[in-house]
Structure 1
Amino acid sequence: MTHACVSVTDASAVLPLTTRVGTTVTWVPRDGGSGSGADDHSASHVSAVRRASLPTGPGNVWLAAEQSVARYIRAHPVHERGMDRERVYFSGYWSRGKAEGE
């Protein structure tokens, strides 16, 4: 089972995807909130992750996102779903408003 939550600028950026059996894609438009910026967008992602089916047995969570979004989401699988920390990988690999290397 794979569940991907994919950030897009707005609903017009949603693309038709062909996926494997057992794969679910949830599109998370960045314009879907109250307009309060990063915290609002983070909340949209957390909401999408909370609704996602996560593995109850063997399995892993892989999360890569903008740094503030990743930080906001990363604790959910461990603290709210009881997953082993070793099964959760996260990377906040860019930071909004900063150039590469800053």
Structure 2
Amino acid sequence: MSSTMHITGVVIGTGALLEVKGDKCGFKPSAVRIVNVTDGSVHVWQDTLGDDTAWEDKGGTMNLRTSGGIIPLADGFSIGTQGNLNAASDVLHYEVWG
């Protein structure tokens, strides 16, 4: 990833669509990586994937999630409602490139 913008942060899962934008991001991502610290899963979206998708690695098993995933926005991204990605009260560390 030869990107010029890079940020990291932490949010708490809600179980509902969760936007990370504006002062928490501020640019359209080309890649997003989310680590759900609570359940140990890792989710990756890049601009070669469709919106609302993400590769998920949980316990060494890779799955392509095609709904409830990560959605790029003009000034950040949304975290979808897929259970391993965004359950209520889960601690989510994110890393974004743009």
TM-score by structure 1 length?
0.27
| Structure with more of its chain in helix, by fraction | 1
- Relative CO higher for 1 or 2, CA cutoff 8 Å, sep ≥ 6? 2
- Which of the pair has more CA radius of gyration? 1
TM-score by structure 2 length?
0.28
